[in-house]
A and B are shown apart, each in its own frame.
Chain A
Amino acid sequence: MMRERAALDVSHLPAHAYGSREPLWWGNLLLLVIEGTMFALALATYFYLRKNFAHWPPPPTPYPELLLPTINLIVILVSLAPAIRVHVLAIREGSQFQIQLALLAEIAFIIAVLTMRFFEFRDLHCYWDTHAYGSITWTLLGLHLLHLVASVCETALLFVWALTHRLDKKHRLDLSLLAIYWYFVVASWVIIYAVVFLGPRLM
């Protein structure tokens, strides 16, 4: 049945977009808000528990080590470089080969960070069940570790996709969101590092 009617024709509009124009960007952002709230509450818990102690960390637990965690902090900050490169190449329709290289570099960085994270737990000089200080510091490191694992899995998955398919706009959007997620992982770590490793010496 043919009918004449008033209409707004949208067939000329593009089928993809990047950044805040795209629903998936909003989904990613809201996820980061949720995770950020979780971290904020865990940090609040850290300071809440602190008030129960005259000495922090409670003796005989010594201050957490600084050397390895600081090296790891530098590594994680430098890992922003390949992430930014992936982000910019993805949305500026850059070379797929360059993107593959940057993703590979990113994976290498995250694996390095993960390895050092393993030793950072040891550098706390206590266990999660030793006392409340141990419980909250292991929780902060552990929650962040979950994000590191998620990031390396996601980056590896997109890397394999980029090796086996020609990147279309949809997957370039995915790459940009992966980068944004990594920025969040790095930013949250800067704060957690400061609180857990520098904090006791300053308080």
Chain B
Amino acid sequence: MSVETEDIVTTARRRVTTDEARDRESLEKTWKSPPGLWGWLTTTNHKAIARRYIVTAFIFFLLGGVEAALIRIQLSRPENHFLNPDLYNQVFSMHGTTMMFLFAVPIMEALGLYFVPLMVGTRNVAFPRLNALGYYAYLSGGVMIYVAFFLNIGVDTGWFSYVPLSGPDYSPGKRVDFWAQMITFTEIAALVGAVEIITTAFKMRAPGMSLNRVPLFVWAMVITAFMIIFAMPAVMLSSSMLASDRLISTQFFNPAEGGDALLWQHLFWFFGHPEVYIIFIPATGLVSTLISTFSRREAFGYVALILSLVATGFIGFGLWVHHMFATDVPQLGQSFFTGASVMIAVPSGVQIFCWLATLWAGKLQLRTPMMFILGFIVVFVMGGLTGVMLAAVPLDLQVHDTFFVVAHFHYVLIGGAVFPLFGALHYWMPKWTGRMMSERLGHWTFWLMFIGFNLTFFPMHILGLHGMPRRVYTYLDSLGWGRMNLLATVGAMIIGVSVLLFIINFLQSRRTGIIAGNNPWNAATLEWATSSPPPPYNFVYPPTVRTRSPLWDEGEDAPVVTGLATECREVLVTNMLDAEPDHRYELPGASVWPLALGFGVAVTFIVVIFTPWGIDIGAVLCLIALVGWFWSSIEKKKNLLVEPDREPLEDEL
């Protein structure tokens, strides 16, 4: 911690007289959204947009869960005909696509979009209108592919649509085109979210929040955002190449003209492996946050935890060929990826031990969020172990494309992401709604999910070792797989009940839950320093911090930031390393242009599936929206304030 930081917050000890009521009233007026539907469509409030993401992603989670239930019903007994082969292919493809693209990444990013500004002590994300655009892109893509599914033109080539099956020769029609374009929509949204999170976390932190005082959840989201930036272009490029092979006869994946089927796999998995860490790393941030609160102490090993995340992020880009061990990539290359796949267990292991140390040294509170964290540790470690097994080429070759792999990735994804997510939903629900959820229902939700999950997926390890293949709609009775499959189906139904209980808990507590107040869990981070739910401007006076756990270490009289304008949407920009105040920055208010551009983008990418004129029409709409967006960027404060002028420094070029 530098001397300058100490000085900033020490000089903040200057006493100032504030008129909180007057400032609050002014902020309320400046930051409120226009009324009604128009206000809803044009809001740039990060909390409103993040809530939208979370609700939409949760609905997709339920849809994906229904698809899972359909798979499980079909597989519950041999030679079942509940779903015909074509419908089965669509259902498992939609299940994977929904869970990976429409639920997991969006909901994790949304938690970041809601809490990063609050945790760093600012009023909004850095680019409020861009944030709104991201949601519209996400919504368009998700709605588009589900409309296609309900019209029986859903994707049927798996969530990763390998060529040549998904190419023009073997998948005629529009099914795969809808999938490829959905990718474009969701990747735009993910990239937008990543840019917001990085810029907000780097440039808009509370004075005194030097990098070594940034909350672990914010670090996790920033690292995730960087991974998104480097990984998403690969899938955008490959899905566009697939769409162009199908629509305008490019030859990227056609071996007859020098194209390469393996090119698809390389490009897809170069994205696809980091994708699972993009889902997992935010969850590690959730785990650190919840473990800290419910052990009543700071997480053990702050620096080790962050370095582990950075290491995971880097190594995660060096793993992708482990999805391709059953292809003809050279053996020496395969060995390299085996090594990297085993090595990545090390930073994950370091994190687990840091968390165990936190639990050991702390005072455990077995509230619902903590139960999910304990469940995470058990389930994720099991999934990690089968992952290390799969990293070995000889074993992978035996169980590739069997249910062993299905078991592995559900253990790491549900254990590693869904359990922490449900813990976080119970934890932050009071901040969103102002009311506590029922502990009793919460514990029931946890135990049913834990038991149901293991009942569903543990047998799949054995089924995989016995050779049951993935993505085949049924199996013969004589193979003897019937009993375990039935067990798995029963487990899936139990998971369904637990999710239902969660929904009941949510609905009930909205009406009759105990009022939460600002900080019902007595937690340490800044989102708990304001009301539940927070006002649109987050804090009347933005906080300053001196430690990693501001609410535990500061008393009532913690210094705050004063002097920001309340007649326009002004925030404080600080410098990157030590968060010293740098300048004031005006954010835009509500705007229709994100909706307009979202519409333009949707028209472009959907119409182009059917005709190249989509580009022309869409380009015009997008151009109009962009001109409007730019032209409406007028600062309110030009008329209000006079600012000191000075020459820019050399390093500002």
Where the two chains meet, the residues of A that have a C-beta atom closer than 8 Å to any C-beta of B are: 1-24, 26-27, 30-31, 33-35, 37-38, 41-42, 45, 48-49, 52-53, 58, 87-88, 91-93, 128-136, 138-139, 153, 157, 161, 168, 170, 176
Cβ-based interface call for B500 (8 A) = no
Which residues does B use to contact A, with CB under 8 Å?
8-9, 11-21, 126-127, 130, 191, 194-195, 198-200, 202-204, 207, 229-230, 232-234, 236-237, 241, 244, 248-252, 254-255, 257-260, 263, 266-267, 270, 541, 544, 557-564, 570, 572-573, 575, 581-586, 623, 626-627, 630-631, 633, 635, 637-638, 641, 643-649, 651-653
A14-B644, A132-B257 known; A38+B236 contact, CB < 8 A: yes
A168/B635 in contact, CB under 8 A: yes
Residues on B with C-beta less than 8 A from A12 are: 563, 644
Complex: chain B residue closest to A149, CB-CB: B619
Question: Chain B residues with Cβ under 8 A from A88's Cβ?
Answer: 653
* Residue contact B233 to A38, C-beta cutoff 8 Å: yes
Contact B233 A91 (CB under 8 A): no
A188 CB to closest chain B CB (Å) equals 13
Residues on the B chain within 8 Å of A132, using CB: 251-252, 254, 257-260
A194 vs B254: C-alpha distance when bound (angstroms): 26
Nearest CB of chain A from residue B313's CB, rounded to whole Å: 15
Whether B191 pairs with A34 at a CB distance below 8 angstroms is yes
The verdict on A92 contacting B17 (CB below 8 Å), with A23-B199, A31-B195, A38-B233 known, is no
Q: In the complex, are the beta carbons of A52 and B573 less than 8 A apart?
A: no
Which of A7, A15, A42, A168 interacts with B18 by CB under 8 Å? A7
Q: Are A27 and B195 in contact (CB under 8 A)?
A: yes
Q: List A contacts of B200 (CB < 8 A).
A: 23
Contact B127 A15 (CB under 8 A): no
Report the separation of the CA atoms of residues A5 and B8 in the bound assembly, to the nearest whole angstrom: 16
- Which of these, A9, A27, A138, A161, contacts B199 with CB under 8 Å? A27
Contact of B258 among A8, A18, A38, A131 (CB under 8 A): A131
Residues of chain A within 8 A (CB-CB) of B586 are 15
Q: Can you list 9 A-B pairs with a CB-CB distance of less than 8 A?
A: A5-B16, A7-B559, A10-B572, A13-B581, A41-B270, A42-B237, A48-B260, A49-B252, A128-B248
Report yes or no: A9 in contact with B14, Cβ–Cβ below 8 A: yes
Closest 4 CB pairs of A and B: A19-B652, A11-B563, A132-B258, A8-B12
Residue of B260, B572, B648 with most partner-chain A CB within 10 A: B648
In the assembled complex, the Cα of A40 lies from the Cα of B564 at a distance in Å of 42
- A49's contact among B21, B191, B259, by CB below 8 Å, is which? B259
A26 touches B260 (CB 8 A): no
Measured between beta carbons, the chain B residues less than 8 angstroms from A93 are 645, 647
**Which listed residue, B251, B252, B575, touches A21 by the CB 8 Å rule?**
B575
Number of inter-chain CB pairs below 8 Å: 230
Cβ contact within 8 Å between B260 and A20: no
Contact check, A8 vs B233: say whether CB atoms are below 8 A apart.
no
Determine the chain B residues whose CB is within 8 A of the CB of A6 once the complex forms: 12-16, 557-560
User: What is the CB-to-nearest-CB distance from B576 to chain A, in angstroms, rounded to a whole number?
Assistant: 8
Is A17 a contact partner of B13 (Cβ separation < 8 A)?
Answer: no
Closest B residue to A176 by beta carbon equals B653
Instruction: Say whether, besides A23-B199, A37-B230, A53 and B258 are in contact (CB < 8 Å).
Output: yes
Apart from A21-B573, A21-B575: 4 A-B pairs, beta carbons within 8 A: A5-B559, A45-B252, A53-B258, A135-B251
Contact assessment for A131 and B652 in the assembled complex, using a CB-CB cutoff below 8 Å: no
Q: Is the CB of A1 within 8 A of B21?
A: yes
Knowing A6-B14, A14-B646, A30-B199, the reply to whether A139 touches B229 (Cβ < 8 A) is: no
A1 touches which of B19, B260, B558, B623 (Cβ 8 Å): B19
Chain B nearest CB from A149 CB (Å) reads 9
Contact at B573–A41, with CB atoms within 8 Å?
A: no
Contact B652 A7 (CB under 8 A): no
CB within 8 A of A17: which of B249, B564, B582?
A: B582
Cα–Cα distance between A23 and B588 once the two chains are bound (Å) = 13
Residues of A within 8 A of B573 (CB): 17, 21-23
**In the complex, which of the residues B230, B236, B241, B562 contacts A8, with contact meaning CB atoms closer than 8 Å?**
B562
Decide if A23 touches B203 in the complex (CB within 8 Å): yes
Give complex CA distance A37, B191 in Å. Answer: 12
Residue among B257, B626, B644 with most chain A CB within 10 A:
B257
Using Cβ atoms and an 8 Å threshold, which residues of chain B touch A5? Answer: 15-16, 18, 557, 559-560
Which chain B residues border A92 with CB–CB below 8 Å? 647-648
How many Å from the CB of A2 to the closest CB on chain B? 5
Decide if B19 touches A26 in the complex (CB within 8 Å). no
Cβ contact within 8 Å between A58 and B258: yes
B597 to chain A, nearest CB (A): 14
CA distance in complex: A7, B641 (Å) = 21
Which chain B residues lie closer than 8 Å to A10 at the CB level?
561-564, 572, 581, 584
Which residues of A lie under 8 Å from residue B635 when comparing CB positions?
168, 170
Residue of B nearest to A52 (CB): B258
Chain B's nearest CB lies how many Å from the CB of A127? 9
Contact between chains at A14 and B126 (CB < 8 Å):
no
- In the bound complex, do residue A2 and residue B19 qualify as a contact, i.e. CB atoms below 8 Å apart? yes
Closest residue on chain A to residue B130 by CB atoms: A27
A14 and B584 contacting across the interface, CB-CB below 8 Å? yes
State A136–B241 Cα separation when bound (angstroms): 9
Q: A42: shortest Cβ distance to chain B, in Å?
A: 6
Decide if B127 touches A27 in the complex (CB within 8 Å).
yes
Contact B583 A17, beta carbon cutoff 8 Å = yes
For A21, the chain B residues whose CB sits under 8 A away are 573, 575, 582-583, 652
Q: How far is the CB of B366 from the nearest CB of chain A, in Å? A: 38
- Contact between B12 and A15, CB atoms less than 8 A apart: no
Partner of B250, one of A19, A52, A135: A135
B195 touches A8 (CB 8 A): no
**Is the beta-carbon distance between A14 and B237 smaller than 8 angstroms?**
no
Of all chain A residues, the one with the shortest Cβ separation from B199 is A26
Q: Give every chain A residue within 8 A of B191 (Cβ-Cβ).
A: 34
Residues of A within 8 A of B561 (CB): 7-10
How far, in angstroms, from A87 to B572 measured CA to CA in the complex?
25
A133: nearest chain-B partner, CB-CB:
B258
Query: Hey, which chain B residues are within 8 Å of A20, CB to CB?
Result: 651-652
In the complex the two chains form, what is the Cα distance from A32 to B14 in whole Å?
Answer: 42
Q: How far is the CA of A18 from the CA of B638 in the complex (A)?
A: 17
For residue A90, which residue of chain B has the nearest CB? B648
CA A162 to CA B215, docked complex, whole Å:
43
Counting chain A CB atoms within 10 Å of each CB, which of B15, B250, B582, B646 scores highest? B250
Cα distance A203–B583 when bound, in Å? 52
Q: How far is the CB of B180 from chain A (nearest CB, A)?
A: 15
Q: Are B653 and A87 in contact (CB under 8 A)?
A: yes
Closest beta carbon of chain A to B301's beta carbon, Å: 29
Instruction: Tell me, in angstroms, the Cα distance from A91 to B250 when the chains sit together.
Output: 45
The residues of A that contact B641 with a CB separation of less than 8 Å are 15
- A31: which B residues are within 8 A, CB to CB? 195
Task: Name A91's contact: one of B8, B252, B653 (CB within 8 Å).
Answer: B653
Q: Tell me the nearest residue of chain A to B187, going by C-beta.
A: A34
The complex places the Cα of A26 from the Cα of B197 at a distance, in Å, of: 11
With A30-B194, A87-B653 already in contact, the answer to whether A23 and B583 are too (CB < 8 A) is no
State the Cβ distance, B278 to closest chain A Cβ, in Å: 15
> Is A49's CB under 8 angstroms from B260's CB?
yes
A13, B584: Cβ atoms closer than 8 Å: yes
Contact present for A13 and B260 (CB under 8 Å): no
B86: min CB distance to chain A, Å:
30
Given A17-B652, A129-B251, do A26 and B258 touch, yes or no (CB 8 Å)?
no
Q: B241 touching A139 by the CB < 8 A rule?
A: yes
Contact A131 B21 (CB under 8 A): no
- Cα distance A42–B202 when bound, in Å? 30
